[in-house]
Structure 1
């Protein structure tokens, strides 16, 4: 039942360093599109004061997460919930942070819209939404590997593809969030930090 994603071993340590700087000391972290569940186990082990709630719309992915969760026996790692970021149904729970790794480019735009909308509604003021993956940036030459990856994604599904950071920023702003940090990561990826702003 357990699935493995080779990219996890490459990015989990750099991501952990960023999470250590951006996550709160306690509370619940909702991971959107948890995939295999390997990230959830790794982060829950390294941040024991945080409660980790993985999620995924795919039943096979959730089965993998369950297998990893049961093997880990981590008390702060919950069983996964079924969650499609592009749908209206989101759990109404008290969150301290949201994390989304490698979903935005392998999903329809409605998933990013739903993610930002939910973050704007569910996160308290100052709480982070942390995104990781490849993005397109203005005035920055896109790596050939990312351009080829973008083309391959669109060949599989025209609704997929690397998103411009500006589009993500505008979507965040419409939902009461603001990008506070951009971090270059291995393999031409980025970590983007958005935080919930106070009411004006």
Structure 2
């Protein structure tokens, strides 16, 4: 079973550590350099521990970072990491459920969602694109990161094993087919623009609001 969280030294309800963030954050930031706008507000959906938010806010000081998560303990962790970093461009985290019909934010210049689509019910992906459609102006990016299944690309043994472990933990979870995600995007008014292969058999996907 994959460990999603490691409690921080301050206790379970304070800083948490997601081991994957240290391995993927620089590779993700390299692609974000190309895909994010030069200025504006970036809403991060499912920010988890908050480590990505702090890292990216440091890497992109001209952008305002709005972290969010549906889990109260995650929000506590995000706030702890942010307070420790003392960054002026990280906003207080928001309680945000991607699948909800209403979000506690009205507009954004870009949306970023890392490692949520496969560790959540399909309704969260549907809600993510619906919410992004409400928040983003035409041309603005919605960026996804994580493992996916592709019809013409063999799925690695490690991703097959990961998919099986996710579905064993929750039948509503699992790696999603990119074609299905593209269909949701099109229905919500987004164009699929780019796909980048990332380390550890992950992908970054770029969609733009039409």
Task: Please state which band the TM-score falls in when normalised by the shorter chain.
Answer: over 0.9
Corresponding residue for 1:41?
Answer: 54
1:10 equivalent in alignment to 2:23: yes
Distance 2:105 2:66 in 1: 13
1:13-162 equivalence runs, <5 A:
13-162=26-175
Cα RMSD for the two superposed structures: 0.7
Corresponding residue for 2:182?
Answer: 169
Distance 1:187 1:163 in 2: 16
Please give the TM-score of this superposition, normalised by the length of structure 2.
0.93
Task: Summarize deviations over 1:54-112 as a string: whole Å, max 9, x none.
Answer: 00000110000000010011000011000011111213422100000000000000000
Distance 1:153 1:177 in 2: 28
Please give the TM-score of this superposition, normalised by the length of structure 1.
0.97
Extract unaligned runs of 5+ from structure 1: none
Distance 1:77 1:70 in 2: 9
Q: Could you list the structure 1 runs, at least 4 aligned residues long, displaced by more than 4 angstroms after superposition.
A: none
Q: How many residues align?
A: 197
Distance 2:57 2:93 in 1: 13
Secondary structure of the structure 1 residue equivalent to 2:38: coil
Larger strand proportion, structure 1 or 2? Answer: 2
Corresponding residue for 1:190?
Answer: 203
Distance 1:58 1:89 in 2: 17
Distance 2:186 2:86 in 1: 39
Extract unaligned runs of 5+ from structure 2: 1-13
